[in-house]
Structure 1
Amino acid sequence: MAVQQKKRPSTQFQVQDTVNKAEHYYRNNARIINIVGIVIILLIGGYFGYKYLYLAPREGKAQAMIFKAQQYFQKDSLRLALEGDGNNYGYLQVMQRYGGTKVGKLAALSAGICYVRLGEYQKGIDLLEKFHVEDRVMQPLAYGLLGDAYMELNKTGQGIAAYKKAGYYSDNDLIAPLYLMRAGLALEKAGKNKEAVAIYRQIKQKYPQSLQGHDIDKYLARAGDTE
């Protein structure tokens, strides 16, 4: 007697079975699925809304707000650039109101420059220690200003550390050798000539065409380089 073979379910039946399972899964998990979907939509919408409906207008307002401060800064009227003149805002107000914008970050760095140039070094340090941006020019300048302020307060170790951060942050041919040189000079001041020589050699190797690189042999000799 021949054994009857079981019939394989038809493709149509398999598809229907898959659909039924999917519907069953959805019914059992509908709340979670809907919540996840809504969250994704809100995140996407929130990002574009934040960027174009919130950040973009704020950048424009910040740009208008900082205009007079920039004029005062160019005229070397640092106190007015920093604090405003009663009718126009200074860097501090722009920074406080629009700190999350690019213009607000520029205002924070400019305020730090003003404090250091006015001789209010600790105020400059307090501000610049909090300054962090992913920018290959602004961030090393902030570190370099920190170095200047620390050196003015005779905090040589902290000055050296800040100069090194500025010099090693990026390979900018203007900024990097400038602050590496200052790090070397500060190391010499601290009596750490061997470390100063190592810094000067880096300038000679990586930035020979820079302003600092042209005279670097003189500093190497002064620091006691024997090679």
Structure 2
Amino acid sequence: MKSFLLHGFFVWACEFDKNRIFATENRVTMATKQSKKAHENELLENPEVIAEQIGRGEAFLKKNSKILAGVLAAAVILIGGILFFQINTANQNEKAQEEMFQAVYFYEQDSIDFALNGDGINKGLLSIVEDYPRTDAANLANFYIGSIYLSEKKFAEALEHLEDFSSDDYLVQAKAYSLIGDANLELANIDAAISSYTKAARTNENKYTTPKYLAKLAVAQEESGKIADAIATYTEIEEKYYESFEYSAARKHKARLEGLAAK
């Protein structure tokens, strides 16, 4: 019984202390709020305090007026420049695409000279790149020009234009990587070719184009003397893309390289 009473007293004491502490905290909080409110009321009701605050603001503005004006002017110029650049680029791109239409038609008809240089009336792809830099049309023109130069065995020129091309379309970008690999392989830049073919094979992997890029990669790896890597690449074609056109050739070349490695 005594133990129970002591326990009850202890609980009551704790509750009493807790209530006393909370009450004290509440009084302090209320006092702080009242003080803050009184200070705010003083600012609102006392004209001298308001005038002092305004005076400080005016003094700051007078002292830093030139700096603030310069910052404001710079901001206006920057924003205006960005808007002008965006609008101008959009207009240039629209105009370039219209002028590029005939050049693309010539390209599709294998009229390579007209596609590159124009027909005397319509601009060629080279003019599109030169006259409308930084536009989507010029970017795409670089892809067409690079593929034309590659077919003409102008590998250095092809590489220059293909490396200036980029696309959000994974299939097109993978094709560009592959063409860059072709140009580098022809120029005996074997390591660069391996890097480009690897990018092509790993971009949007699929059963249609990936085995083609892997086959090119294996050729470059063998050319570089990396026989084990070439065998691994042919093995990937064999295991993942057994329905592809490259499957049979991959098995044959893999067996050949394994025979060479065994010697």
Q: Of 158, 166, 170, which aligns to 1:133?
A: 166
Cα deviation digits, residues 68-114 of structure 1 (max 9, x gap): 11111111122221122222211111111112100011111110111
Cα deviation digits, residues 139-181 of structure 1 (max 9, x gap): 443332121122234443332232224334x335355554343
Where does residue 103 of structure 1 map in the other structure? 137
Where does residue 150 of structure 2 map in the other structure? 116
Paired residue secondary structure (2:64): helix
* Cα offset, 1:30, TM superposition: 1.5
Where does residue 11 of structure 1 map in the other structure? 43
Contact 2:197 2:217 in 1 (8 A): yes
C-alpha RMSD of matched pairs (Å): 3.3
Paired residue secondary structure (1:86): coil
Identity %: 27
* Aligned mates of 2:254, 2:51 — CA distance in 1: 82
Q: Of 20, 28, 33, which aligns to 2:55?
A: 20
More helix, by proportion:
2
Where does residue 49 of structure 1 map in the other structure? 84
TM-score where L is the length of structure 2: 0.67
Q: How many residues align?
A: 216
* Aligned mates of 2:243, 2:77 — CA distance in 1: 51
Gaps of 5+ in 1: 1-6
* Aligned mates of 1:209, 1:47 — CA distance in 2: 52
TM-score where L is the length of structure 1: 0.77
Contact 1:177 1:210 in 2 (8 A): no
* Aligned mates of 1:217, 1:15 — CA distance in 2: 86
* Aligned mates of 1:181, 1:19 — CA distance in 2: 77
Q: Which has the higher contact order (CA 8 A, sep 6+)?
A: 1
